[in-house]
């Protein structure tokens, strides 16, 4: 299937990055959000990011012009023209089910409906639509313009044709698609979040200071940043949410969130976005 027009839902951290990369790869792009402030912020972020990439020589002025041509919308009216809809709204199952019902009603019958969810079952999301064969996970990494990986997640009913089309779109965007089956946390968060959670257990039990824990993983394991620094970047609420999904859906105690992680989220210490997490910002 040929994809020409991509409609991105959600203009936040991930949505604006996805819209940017899709546009600079030559797709016609519409980026939609219910919050006008998010659309304004996305416009500014994309303008700044593409200007920087042109300066560095990794983007041509023509590619920047394509990003400048992204259409921003506060509703789903133009979704009917899209071949692919990528949902990157807030990580909340009820919200995603509601959005997917609406996507299914508004998008063309042959359009593919993708979600950037980090932890919600693709099969469950697909079940609220009448086209589970055309629903798929496209899990981009943050920051989208810089990170190579897209985890491509097949739900139970996702067709081979849909998967192949999405693999081709990812490659066209200059990304490296890696296929995973639908399972809690997929591959990325099944491995990453328990590692971060274990680092929080080590801190809570006094095995080391935050700096020591991060230094061991950076210098000893060649990780580009330590797990607690990474947790602050991702958001401690997001890490906690993923651990709760893993514990509930895989039913194993080894995924129980560290008490300190929960306490920090309760206190509003969410990491960089709140100015305080394991470190102060």
Ligand X SMILES: NC(=O)c1ccc[n+]([C@@H]2O[C@H](COP(=O)([O-])OP(=O)(O)OC[C@H]3O[C@@H](n4cnc5c(N)ncnc54)[C@H](O)[C@@H]3O)[C@@H](O)[C@H]2O)c1
Q: How many CB atoms lie within 10 A of CB 57?
A: 7
Which residues 224-253 are close enough to bind ligand X by CB under 6 A? 234
Q: Known catalytic residue: 151?
A: yes
- Find the shortest distance in angstroms from Cβ 102 to ligand X: 8
Question: Counting contacts by CB under 6 A, is residue 59 touching ligand X?
Answer: no
**CA distances (Å), origin 177, targets 140, 149, 172, 181:** 9, 6, 10, 13
Question: Counting contacts by CB under 6 A, is residue 31 touching ligand X?
Answer: no
> Are the C-beta atoms of 105 and 128 separated by less than 8 Å?
no
User: Which phi and psi angles does 104 have, rounded to 5°?
Assistant: -65, -35
The active-site residue out of 66, 188, 189, 197 is 189
Question: Counting contacts by CB under 6 A, is residue 10 touching ligand X?
Answer: yes
Give CA angle at 160 (156, 165), nearest 5°. Answer: 120
Question: Counting contacts by CB under 6 A, is residue 38 touching ligand X?
Answer: yes
DSSP letters spanning 98-136:
HHHHHHHHHS-TT-EEEE--SSS-HHHHHHTSS-GGGEE
Residue span binding ligand X (CB under 6 A) among the ranges 10-18, 151-159, 171-179, 190-198: 10-18
- Find the shortest distance in angstroms from Cβ 212 to ligand X: 26
Distance CA 157, CA 117 (A): 17
The active-site residue out of 49, 121, 139, 188 is 139
Q: How many CB atoms lie within 10 A of CB 137?
A: 27
The active-site residue out of 16, 66, 87, 151 is 151
Question: Counting contacts by CB under 6 A, is residue 93 touching ligand X?
Answer: no
Q: Known catalytic residue: 5?
A: no
Q: Known catalytic residue: 189?
A: yes
Q: Known catalytic residue: 102?
A: no
Question: Counting contacts by CB under 6 A, is residue 137 touching ligand X?
Answer: no
Question: Counting contacts by CB under 6 A, is residue 118 touching ligand X?
Answer: yes
Give CA angle at 193 (190, 196), nearest 5°. Answer: 145
**Footprint on this chain of ligand X (rule: CB under 6 A):** 9-15, 32-35, 38, 88-91, 95, 99, 116-118, 139, 142, 234
Q: Which residues does the annotation mark as catalytic?
A: 118, 139, 151, 189
């Amino acid at each position: 299937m040929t994809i020409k027009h991509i409609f991105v839902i959600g203009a936040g951290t991930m949505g604006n990055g996805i819209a940017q990369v899709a546009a600079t790869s030559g797709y016609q792009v519409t980026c939609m959000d219910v919050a006008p402030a998010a659309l304004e912020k996305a416009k500014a972020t994309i303008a700044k990011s593409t200007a920087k990439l042109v300066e560095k020589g990794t983007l041509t002025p023509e590619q920047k012009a394509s990003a400048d041509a992204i259409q921003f919308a506060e509703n789903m009216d133009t979704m009917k023209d899209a071949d692919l809809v990528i949902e990157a709204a807030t990580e909340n199952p009820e919200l995603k089910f509601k959005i997917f019902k609406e996507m299914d009603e508004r998008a063309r019958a042959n359009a593919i409906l993708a979600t950037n969810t980090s932890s919600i079952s693709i099969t469950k999301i697909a079940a609220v639509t009448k086209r589970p064969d055309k629903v798929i996970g496209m899990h981009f990494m943050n920051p989208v313009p810089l990170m190579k990986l897209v985890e491509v997640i097949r739900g139970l009913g996702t067709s081979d044709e849909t998967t192949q089309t999405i693999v081709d779109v990812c490659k066209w965007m200059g990304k490296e698609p890696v296929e995973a089956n639908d399972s809690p946390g997929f591959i990325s968060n099944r491995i990453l979040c328990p590692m971060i959670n274990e680092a929080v257990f080590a801190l809570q039990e006094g095995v080391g200071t935050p700096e020591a824990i991060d230094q061991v993983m950076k210098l000893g394991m060649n990780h580009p940043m330590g797990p607690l620094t990474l947790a602050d970047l991702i958001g401690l609420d997001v890490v906690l949410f993923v651990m709760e999904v893993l514990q509930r859906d895989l039913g194993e105690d080894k995924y129980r969130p560290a008490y300190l992680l929960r306490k920090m989220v309760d206190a509003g210490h969410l990491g960089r976005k709140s100015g305080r997490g394991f470190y102060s910002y």
